[in-house]
Structure 1
């Protein structure tokens, strides 16, 4: 039943809920290099804004960069391990009628499922969804007064991955969960190291 609902929801988001504007805008949220450049610029500006308006200290920006690197790395590696174990095909490989944004940046409609293993890895979970959620959660944890709109990033990235035919909705939700768990693990691990470091210095 879950898989049937997953496929039906994919058909809605990928097939029926489309427009010429979304065909241009949403693929940008799946473009890896553009996301990285955008994330760096956004986080840099966001950190500056928080420091100027809320008095956040510079060390928070440094910790932000460190935690982002660790959290994104853990999320990405975890997704790769899970993908290899699950081995789920992607929508453009399995669902006829999928609107697929090809690597050469062209839209096409899949006539027949190929079920051919691709060079881009499995479908579950979505690494893009995981890493974008990790970024949003780290920012929200470090900047407690940060705007909740930061979570629009993983929402748009997840929507984009479905829209371009790369992932099913369950893949995106799974990616969000991996991203959140990765941040919690990194946060907890850094907290323990921080406590042990200062305990040793005080003994």
Structure 2
């Protein structure tokens, strides 16, 4: 009788450990219910990075009517409302992904937006006025380093390997030479 009671206690002990372990795993930081969204590109995806560049307003959209319909204020999007990347974030149940250059944007677990209006894949496309693709990628390297420091190598690797990457760039590379020639006429 004492032996069977002892066995029940041991069984109950192991069962409680199993329940405790499963409940802890459910609340673990390691298990995310979302994938991060990293966005690279030009005006189709720029949600305000150019607002933080010290350049002319030629490649910025922080004035009326941009953003007025949906946001009720200018946002830096070359759109009166949301961008394709905003709809994708909403569909994925993510918050609006902030621009990388926006002050205070340091939580990269949902992703970040590097896009810059008028940018090109080539560094010669509007140099000094936009964030070209090479610079966007160097910003991403900084984010990767920040995530590795904050989350650790394994969790950062998991987050980055499960992330969704949106890229739309290159159209300005075709148009920039024509715009330069028209300016000299």
Q: Do both share a fold (TM > 0.5)?
A: no
Q: Which has the higher strand share?
A: 2
Which structure: larger Rg? 2
Q: Which has the higher helix share?
A: 1
Q: Report the TM-score when normalising by structure 1.
A: 0.29
Q: Report the TM-score when normalising by structure 2.
A: 0.32
